[in-house]
Structure 1
Amino acid sequence: MTPIRHNHSDGDAVLDAVRDCVLAVGVRRTTMTDVARRAGVSRMTLYRRWPDVRSLVGDLMTREWVAAATDAMPERRPGTLTRDLIADGLVAGVAAFRAHPLFHKIVDVDPELLLPYVLDRRGASQEALLALLADVLREGHADGSVRQGHVERQARALLLIVQSFALSLRTMTDADDTELNGDAFLAELRGILERTLTP
């Protein structure tokens, strides 16, 4: 799968400014004035597209999470099963997500921002990731490396699995765990995905 690339635009410059503000002071202390100043635009320019900081942060999270996921997908090599591509990509995606500075800042300072996407509704980044998963699952069905099933339901099940590892891994890792950076748990995730996908 080819990673999604975006041309740098005014919207990207604004989201870059939001990212810098959030990394510096967190979501709650970021203001539209701060973002406008960093982006070099007026507040009215921001308000024409985003009603508040949370909507800006929502778009930022979508951009960052989808980029992390697509960049983590390994390049297809001759003879590689689509099943292996999916499992390797999802494990690498979880590792990239957990290492992402924006994720660390939100979890440490504004964790309530993530709750709606865990308990209440799907966000734009989740919808984008589901679409990407559905596409690659169809490839796996076609080459016989992924068990047949309802594509959208399989994609949702996979996202539920990787979300639990991405969001809750540190609650399951003991302070005296001898494995560094959750590598042992990522190996467990790889095994779960392999068994889930195998026909």
Structure 2
Amino acid sequence: MTSLRHNDAAPEPRDAYLDAARACLLDVGWRRTTLTEVARRAGVSRMTIYRTWADMPTLLGDLMTREWTAVVASTAGTGGPSGLVDRMVATIRALRVNELFVRIVEVDPELVLPYLLARRGRSQDLILAIAAEAVAAGQADGTVRPGNPTAIARGLVLAAHGFVLSAHTMVDDGASEAELDAELALLLTRALQP
């Protein structure tokens, strides 16, 4: 008889709690979401949630990490010879239409400010590690210019921030989102050229 304890098909309770938190944020926004409401939506006691997260910022950090990591994972394998550029553009496009990301930017934009002005988050570190690894691989095969792969990756991510957060402010009759994405791809491509 096999143990049900290590059954990969069984969802993690923590994921269900994060799903409940995500639903709360989509429905009422960050300011009106409480751990009590997350517990109610998850169908568990408040203490169950409090044992996992001491406060809403900690829960939010875990939710955003899970969400953005899934976005990055969804773009794995994107691209051919210019794989890093294609993957970065695909990731930016995916973030711009991600339901949670859009809701946070529209209703609670202050939630992203710490990650732009004060510190990196776990998902940013993941993106930087993937980019630095791709830069180093490109340097090894001669398709990426020499330099510190970590610094190059960070420069690419910094350049991409505006395309994630502000591209919609630049879209009008003068330039489409697709044209701006093409400009981003060109910018990234030229930044990497040997």
- Give the match's secondary structure for 1:41: coil
Pairwise CA RMSD = 1.7
- Give the match's secondary structure for 1:159: helix
The higher-RCO structure (CA 8 Å, 6+ apart) is 1
- Asked which structure has the greater CA Rg, the reply is 2
Deviation at 1:159, TM superposition (A): 0.8
Answer whether contact 1:73 1:85 (CA < 8 A) is retained.
no
Residue 168 of structure 1, aligned match among 153, 166, 170: 166
Residue 84 of structure 2, aligned match among 82, 86, 92: 86
Residue 183 of structure 2, aligned match among 162, 183, 188: 188
Distance 1:187 1:138 in 2: 24
Distance 1:178 1:163, change over 3 A: closer
Residue 70 of structure 2, aligned match among 42, 67, 72: 67
Please show how residues 1-199 of structure 1 align to structure 2 within 5 Å.
Answer: 8-75=11-78, 80-81=80-81, 84-174=82-172, 176-177=173-174, 179=176, 182-199=177-194
Deviation at 1:75, TM superposition (A): 4.8
Distance 1:33 1:121 in 2: 28
Deviation at 1:40, TM superposition (A): 2.5
Answer whether contact 2:78 2:86 (CA < 8 A) is retained.
no
TM-score, normalised by the number of residues in structure 1: 0.86
Q: Which runs of 5+ in 2 are unaligned?
A: 1-9
Distance 2:90 2:171 in 1: 18
Letter matched to residue 130 of structure 2: L
- Give the match's secondary structure for 1:73: coil
Answer whether contact 2:78 2:87 (CA < 8 A) is retained.
no
Deviation at 1:106, TM superposition (A): 0.7
Answer whether contact 2:21 2:38 (CA < 8 A) is retained.
yes
Partner deviation per Cα, 1:26-60 (whole Å, 9 max, x = no partner): 11111111111222222212222212122211111
Answer whether contact 2:78 2:90 (CA < 8 A) is retained.
no
Distance 1:49 1:167 in 2: 31
Deviation at 1:21, TM superposition (A): 0.8
Deviation at 1:190, TM superposition (A): 0.4
Answer whether contact 1:74 1:88 (CA < 8 A) is retained.
no
Q: Which runs of 5+ in 1 are unaligned?
A: 1-6
Percent of paired sites with the same residue: 49
TM-score, normalised by the number of residues in structure 2: 0.88
